[in-house]
Amino acid sequence: MLNAVNEIDIIQTSLLRALASPHRLRIVHLLGERPREVRELVQELELGQATVSQHLAAMRSVGLVEATRDGRSVRYELTDPEILAACSLMRGVIVRRLSALGSLAAAAGSSPDEPVAISASAFATPSSR
């Protein structure tokens, strides 16, 4: 049983590593709306075709997206709609955390014109700091 759990952990790690890019997260959200051709993603993301293709290849290699060729065009879609749900869930966690930190900053009396630096450590729980 432990070997199966370890294998799942390894697969999950590579999947999450493939999502560790703002462009790839944006691709997930765009493909969550509907399947798209590479040229559509190029326009939406305002990136070069080679760059978008590299992102899609990385996502395809871990099973996040699948491609369907139609003549000269290739249409990509998420392999599972729950991929978007998982990314949206994490986005909600981040928004709630930022909201709580914003409330904390407001309670501390910071000026709205004064920038507040937020680091990744702000998302750590007190026991993990």
The model's pLDDT over 61-84, given as tens digits with 9 standing for 90+, comes to 999 999 999 888 899 999 999 999
Place of tokens 């392999």: 79
| CA pair distance 107, 29, nearest whole angstrom | 34
The dihedral formed by the CA atoms of 34, 77, 82 and 123, expressed in degrees to the nearest 10: -90
- What is the pTM assigned to this prediction? 0.75
Domains of the chain, start order: 2-82 (1.10.10.10)
Other CB atoms within a 10 A radius of the CB of residue 121 amount to 8
Query: Each residue of 78-118: pLDDT tens digit?
Result: 999 999 999 999 999 988 888 888 877 777 765 555 555 55
User: Which residues in 91-120 are b (16+ Cβ under 10 Å) and which e?
Assistant: eeeeeeeeeeeeeeeeeeeeeeeeeeeeee
Residue 118 CB partners (closer than 8 Å, separation 6+) = 98, 101
At 26, which amino acid appears? Answer: R
From CA 2, how far away is CA 5, in angstroms rounded? 5
